[in-house]
Amino acid sequence: MQRPDFNIEEVNKIIRGRRSMFVAQFKENDPVEDSIIEEILENARWAPTHKLTQPWQFIVYTGEGLKKFGQYQADMYKLRAEKNGTPFLEGTYQKFLDNPQKASHVIAILMKRSEGIPLMEEISATAMAVQNMYLTASAHGLAAYWGTGGPTFWQEARPDFGLEGEDILMGFFYIAKPATDNWPEGKRDSLDEKVAWIRE
């Protein structure tokens, strides 16, 4: 295979221009084409992965599936509050119910564990897959964010997502068309604050 001819200016632009945009910035009732979602997931598939374990798996909610997911996490929130004796907040319940329906697609991010590979490497590979999703969504001008709320850390949800052993639910990737043409500003610490050079 011949070495690809990359455009470094475009690579820098997309990496440094990627942003998270949240539900309040979503354009509702204007779905993203499934073909674009498939492209986003295809690029996720090309993330680095040690020993080609490819630990990522995805569940895509769209259309009526968004209502189903919203109802699922809202009902589980209510059951957990009753079971654990923790406060039940109607506003939180409504947010769990409604927010998925404001997106075009919600993608559950699963890390399925392989034997003999350090857990950190499997988590990192899945996170890099999500970065590829972020970059592709941004390249299409879409609003997207990776959230770890709701069922992400609820042990009761694990069987519903087919998780066993050291498998992990790593959150949910929300995608929609943005409600505005304004792109969020970015902010990072200077490189000097994050990098040490050792030359001798």
pLDDT, one tens digit per residue, over 33-78 is 999 999 999 999 999 999 999 999 999 999 999 999 999 999 999 9
pLDDT, one tens digit per residue, over 137-187 is 999 999 999 999 999 999 999 999 999 999 999 999 999 999 999 999 999
| DSSP annotation string for 76-110 | HHHHHHHHHTPPP-HHHHHHHHHHHHHSSEEEEEE
Q: CA-CA-CA-CA torsion for 144, 146, 151, 153, nearest 10 degrees? A: -170
Band of the pLDDT at 106, cuts 50, 70, 90? very high
18-181, CATH topology level:
NADH Oxidase (3.40.109)
State residue 25's pLDDT score: 97
